[in-house]
Amino acid sequence: MIFLKSDEEIELLRESNQIVAKTHGEMAKIIKPGITAKYIEKIANEFIRDNGATPGFLNYNGFPGAICVSVNEVVVHGIPSNEIVFKEGDIVSVDIGAYKNGFHGDSAYTYCVGEVSEEVMALLRTTKESLYKGIAMARENNRVGDVGYAVQNYCEARGYGVVREMIGHGLGRKLHEDPEVPNYGKRGNGPKLKTGMVICIEPMINMGLRNVVIEKDGWTCRTIDRKPSAHYEHAVAIKKGQADILSSFKYIEDVLGDRFI
Ligand code: MG
Ligand code: MG
């Protein structure tokens, strides 16, 4: 069942997503070699709570972290721990949720730790660009398949693997609502997009094979060939014309400056 949101509800969703966006700004300040995933989780957890929200992912279906921290070959759902220490050349996907006033925020960004190889930078640029290709198709009277096709076509044309098992979703009073928003699809297929729908578009794109496995912890999703994977996510509200992006990478850009890709 797809819940259409009123203008007032969309503003509450924007508030939650803006808290997520500002939390990302805090992440951009502290991610560097020698820092642990547990440390950035602590900072995010405190920042979210200082802004009157609660971490949206903590205990979601039993997830044990306040945020997801996924390094290199980990695609999504990495559990923050002290054992995960960032090192020069790593890429770190940070997925953040914040719940406030009954509505969820949800947005992910993949950060570079120091200098990253040009090959990996190309993966990051392509994945991020594919997110905006998807958003460009997210408009009233288009279909979910138009969004997935745009992401898939852009990434596969550049030789990357598009993860099938993990997908985007509706966002609202629940973290995961209908419709499902795959990063692949056929044009003209799937549910029709309507004004008032709020969806998360979140390409998960692999350097190599598209196939993934879940580690024994039951959460950590990594590439089967252990090549790197990137992940960017925005929450958007559908309307006539260009979608309204409720999350933002602005606070990351403010911190990273020239290093923002
Ligand atoms: Mg997310
Ligand atoms: Mg999501």
- C-alpha of residue 46 to centroid of ligand 1, in Å: 18
- C-alpha of residue 95 to centroid of ligand 2, in Å: 8
> Residue 203's closest CA among 122, 129, 140?
129
- C-alpha of residue 233 to centroid of ligand 1, in Å: 6
The order of strands in the sheet holding 204-206 is: 161-162, 204-206, 229-231
State the average pLDDT over residues 211-221.
98
Query: Which tens digit of pLDDT belongs to each residue from 217-249?
Result: 999 999 999 999 999 999 999 999 999 999 999
Query: Which tens digit of pLDDT belongs to each residue from 47-70?
Result: 999 999 999 999 999 999 999 999
Q: What is the pLDDT of residue 28?
A: 98
Q: What is the pLDDT of residue 42?
A: 99
The pTM of the full predicted model, rounded to 2 decimals, is 0.98
- Quick check: bond before 179 cis, omega within 30? yes
Which ligand has its closest atom nearest to the C-alpha of 166?
2
Which ligand has its closest atom nearest to the C-alpha of 167?
2
- C-alpha of residue 76 to centroid of ligand 1, in Å: 9
- C-alpha of residue 176 to centroid of ligand 2, in Å: 7
- C-alpha of residue 231 to centroid of ligand 1, in Å: 9
